[in-house]
Amino acid sequence: MNTYIISFFILSFLTVMSPGPAVLYTIGNALNHSLKETFIGILGVASGILLVAIFATFSLIFAAQQFDFAFLIISSVGSVYFMYLSFTKWQFQPKKSYLKDLNRNSFYNGVLISLLNPKALAFFIFIFPLYIDNQAISIQKCIFLSLLFSFNVITVHSLYTFITTRLTHSFELSKLTHLFDKISAVLFFIFGTLLLKQTIDLVSNLLSN
């Protein structure tokens, strides 16, 4: 298996593990509704992620075709954005908002949460360029990476569901959320560092040409 696939799998897995609106939504469903309803919501989140990935892919293709410095700008902005996320995640104090009851249309709500989640869009807009050729973007590779991300969504959210339904009486969910926030802070810092390196490489290539 290619190294880039393994690294993308790990990065996307850890990103999905990071507590956010979608994770809290799944935990809320697991606490308040049936397993069937919870899994339908998870499928909705994963489907929404695919839509976000499609939008991000075509946005990158359009930007690369229209602007010579598109990937340089994307890398620069992405580096700053993920450094900011790293700082805010490190400072974040978890709240028990996952206890709030939610609407029953789980699939629709799951899709909507993914579409409105800036972290998901930022991941594909800023991280995809690390794994694709900015001179010739492969739609097939983007589709594969998007499906891999969605697979991680289903896997991770199913894990959160198991933890919520099986261990709620013996395990402090807020502590788990706090732990993953710290992991997310480190992960986003790594994202920012990788994008900063790519920015420097792109500038060096432009100056050498």
- Per-residue confidence (pLDDT) for residue 82, from 0 to 100: 66
- Per-residue confidence (pLDDT) for residue 180, from 0 to 100: 64
- Per-residue confidence (pLDDT) for residue 134, from 0 to 100: 60
- Report domain extents, the chain: 19-202
* Average pLDDT per consecutive 10 residues, the chain (209 residues; last block may be shorter): 78 81 84 87 93 84 69 70 70 50 72 82 77 69 88 93 73 60 72 76 73
Instruction: Report yes or no: 181 and 69 within 8 Å, Cβ to Cβ.
Output: no
Instruction: With CA atoms as reference, report the closest residue to 128 among 195, 80, 30.
Output: 195
Q: What predicted TM-score, i.e. pTM, was given to this entire model?
A: 0.72
Instruction: With CA atoms as reference, report the closest residue to 129 among 47, 80, 199, 67.
Output: 199
**Residue 95 CA: distances (Å) to CA of 6, 27, 189:** 33, 13, 23
- Per-residue confidence (pLDDT) for residue 99, from 0 to 100: 42
- Per-residue confidence (pLDDT) for residue 140, from 0 to 100: 82
114, exposed or middle or buried, with CB in 10 Å at 0-12, 13-18, 19+?
buried
- Per-residue confidence (pLDDT) for residue 198, from 0 to 100: 73
**Residue 92 CA: distances (Å) to CA of 65, 95, 192:** 39, 9, 18
